[in-house]
Structure 1
Amino acid sequence: MAFHRIFVIDFAGLGLGEAPDANRFQSVGADTLGHVAVSWMGKLNLPTLQRLGLGNIRVDHQLVGIAPVDHPVGFFGRLHVQAQGNRRATGLREMWDYAGVNSTQTVFTTLPLAGYAVTLAGPFQSYLQTQSAAQRHQVGSNQDAFRILFEQLNQKASGLTYVMLPDFRFAGEQQDSQAFGEALVAADKYLAQFQHDLEANDLLLVTATHADDPASDTTPTREYLPLLAYSPSRPSVHALGIRRTLADVGATVLENFGLASHTAGHSFLNEITQ
């Protein structure tokens, strides 16, 4: 086991520009973070995410006010949703579902059966509500979600904590770039403290399971999604490239805890531990 605990923070709604199949989902030109950054006229201050490598993900089309850093502290890359649909739960299902021996399994049910703790928090969609093997918390704001995260830092049991931040979806639906940016700035500050409090054998994954560009009439939008990985024990980092499916995240979690799977994803565990 490379990491004792894995924390996944889902910035649900945060996209990084139109995906190759954006035309199939009325999302040509969608660019959630790019449009929010432009609307803030370069004053979107996200130092924690920037240090983790957020600006390094898209060096070919740099984000206004979120420049690449010379020495990011996190591994960085992009995720592409492989599924044919584009509902809000599509990416979440793709990240965690996999083909078991006799039926479709989820990471959220497999880990508890193997003796690992699983905690879920978010604005409960029906998918999360069905994960009865996990400890579940319903949250209505990013502040509530981070409260759960900080509580989990005090729990020493080995396992997975997944938290969905709800404020970005709300801002995207309301086409409110100002509120989206405010939620990002606040989350960045919480993230700084959370990152500081991590233990050496913890792994933090910052990602998103869908995009909601407030500048678009389409919701959700089909975009590339961020992937940032950080552990205090991994001082040397590099790019993770473009991942073809969100299932790579689930595959990485399963491999870390020594659980075989038939997931469609490819684990990047070796890429962040070598």
Structure 2
Amino acid sequence: MPKFDRVIAIVTDSIGIGEAPDAAKFHDTGADTLGHIGAHFGETGWALPNWQRLGLGNIQRPTPIPGVPAVPAPIGYFGKMAEISAGKDSMDGHWEMMGLPVTEPLGFFPNGFPAELIQQLEDFSGRKVIVNQPYSGTEVINDYGERQLQTGELIVYTSGDSVLQIAANTAVIPLAELYKICEYARKITTGAPYRIGRIIARPYVGTNKANFTRTSDRHDYALLPTAETDLDRLQAAGVATYGVGKINDIFSGQGLADGVHTVSNSDGMDQTIAAVQSARTGFIFTNLVDFDAMYGHRRNPQGDGEALMAFDRQLGDLLAAIQPSDLLLITSDHGNDPGFTGTDHTREYVPLIAYSPSLPGNGDLGVRSPFADLGATVLENFGVAGNGVGQSFLGLLK
């Protein structure tokens, strides 16, 4: 019998907790998402009381998180995880959590995509491609959105991650057409020489640069998992799997029996709370992307901190709904330090919290590596065999 009837894992997308051991390899020495957000607000400028009482401030780090100090007896178990995947993309982090580290580097195009690929996109879509270089998602529509309204050209851009993004004002390129173009882009970039991790549809609305706004209809077309994941193993064993937010996109639907798209962090937490309040059992897997997409990449520590405080308030509601037969896990997939240089993800440790009302808490999980320790813990709980990647920490929850 499982120790817990349900396991709920929440990924606070991009909320790292300090440079990882291999940060220098990624030019991320000194990155510290939570530390720099805390420094921006100061010791008394912000608070994360619910996450704090679970043990967030007790996680081992060189200096305390400003405003989130350790508490004497946290009600949860606390630690941090280090990634082993070749990259620091959301896909790498989530796949590694589910027992599938990404060992082969994905394709990166810091100087734009090859002419052959751009020509294929133009031939398929019947639209000219513009930009084709690394760009901030909000800045690119500010700089080129009015031109797109006039010409109907495709805004194609990338970042420091393995992504090809297509921004489209739905007034001139309808959502269905944008999705169709992105599906084609996914098809032609899966293998060599491209092997792009994600194709991202970035729809937006507005009549000029003063009011252009990206919509919640973003869609990520990730590579299909290259092997079985822990989600597949759970599903094969008859354990229900439910994805909230972009989980379905990241795994291309594989290993998920059910799921729900969300439009914001708040909606993601509402959907998670609703799932916990329902009769649903098994594994609930949630991603909260706003920290990354709206604040981290835009290097906005104020917005990131405010979003974290909003999450913490809803975390209080979730804790009130959690049952003694539930296990809650909170972690992240990578960093995206709003106090760091550039606009890309940062290679960091990620926080790890475990909690159940049936457990005494106040336990140190230490440093876990790889991220697959999380998936191994979920598998052990449900009595499902894994692939030997990652070690369960279920036995430490006592």
Task: Using the TM superposition, give the Cα deviation of residue 236 of structure 1 relative to its aligned residue in structure 2, in angstroms.
Answer: 3.8
Per the alignment, residue 231 of structure 2 pairs with 108
Deviates more, 1:46-55 or 1:140-149: 140-149
Alignment of 1:147-186 (within 5 A): 147-170=270-293, 171-186=295-310
2: CA distance between counterparts of 1:55 and 1:133? Answer: 33
Sort the Cα spacing of 1:98 and 1:212 in 2 relative to 1 into closer, same or farther, 3 A: closer
Q: Is the 8 A contact 2:98 2:230 kept in 1?
A: yes
Question: RMSD in angstroms over aligned alpha carbons?
Answer: 1.7
Per the alignment, residue 49 of structure 1 pairs with 51
Alignment of 1:79-228 (within 5 A): 79-98=81-100, 104-123=227-246, 126-131=249-254, 133-170=256-293, 171-216=295-340, 217-228=342-353
Q: Is the 8 A contact 2:18 2:61 kept in 1?
A: no
Q: Is the 8 A contact 2:247 2:285 kept in 1?
A: no
Task: Using the TM superposition, give the Cα deviation of residue 126 of structure 1 relative to its aligned residue in structure 2, in angstroms.
Answer: 4.1
Task: Using the TM superposition, give the Cα deviation of residue 73 of structure 1 relative to its aligned residue in structure 2, in angstroms.
Answer: 0.3
| Mapped pair 1:232 → 2:357 | yes
Per the alignment, residue 378 of structure 2 pairs with 253
2: CA distance between counterparts of 1:129 and 1:192? Answer: 31
**Bigger CA radius of gyration:** 2
2: CA distance between counterparts of 1:112 and 1:200? Answer: 24
Q: Is the 8 A contact 2:33 2:336 kept in 1?
A: yes
Deviates more, 1:81-90 or 1:29-38: 81-90
- TM-score norm. by structure 1 comes to 0.94
Sort the Cα spacing of 1:98 and 1:28 in 2 relative to 1 into closer, same or farther, 3 A: closer
Give the secondary-structure state (helix, strand or coil) at the position aligned to 2:80. strand
Q: Is the 8 A contact 1:17 1:31 kept in 2?
A: yes
Deviates more, 1:41-50 or 1:242-251: 41-50
| Mapped pair 1:23 → 2:32 | no
1: CA distance between counterparts of 2:248 and 2:393? Answer: 28
Per the alignment, residue 391 of structure 2 pairs with 266
After superposition, give the CA deviation of every residue in 1:191-238 in whole Å (9 maximum; x if it has no partner).
Answer: 011011111110000100111111221511000100000000002431
| Highest RCO, 1 vs 2 (Cα 8 Å, sep ≥ 6) | 1
1: CA distance between counterparts of 2:263 and 2:280? Answer: 26
Task: Using the TM superposition, give the Cα deviation of residue 127 of structure 1 relative to its aligned residue in structure 2, in angstroms.
Answer: 2.6
Sort the Cα spacing of 1:98 and 1:60 in 2 relative to 1 into closer, same or farther, 3 A: closer
Gaps of 5+ in 2: 102-225
Q: Is the 8 A contact 2:99 2:389 kept in 1?
A: no
| Count of residue pairs brought into register by the alignment | 270
Task: Using the TM superposition, give the Cα deviation of residue 129 of structure 1 relative to its aligned residue in structure 2, in angstroms.
Answer: 2.7
Sort the Cα spacing of 1:124 and 1:248 in 2 relative to 1 into closer, same or farther, 3 A: closer
- TM-score norm. by structure 2 comes to 0.65
Give the secondary-structure state (helix, strand or coil) at the position aligned to 1:151. helix
Task: Using the TM superposition, give the Cα deviation of residue 156 of structure 1 relative to its aligned residue in structure 2, in angstroms.
Answer: 2.2
Task: Using the TM superposition, give the Cα deviation of residue 116 of structure 1 relative to its aligned residue in structure 2, in angstroms.
Answer: 1.7
2: CA distance between counterparts of 1:3 and 1:126? Answer: 27
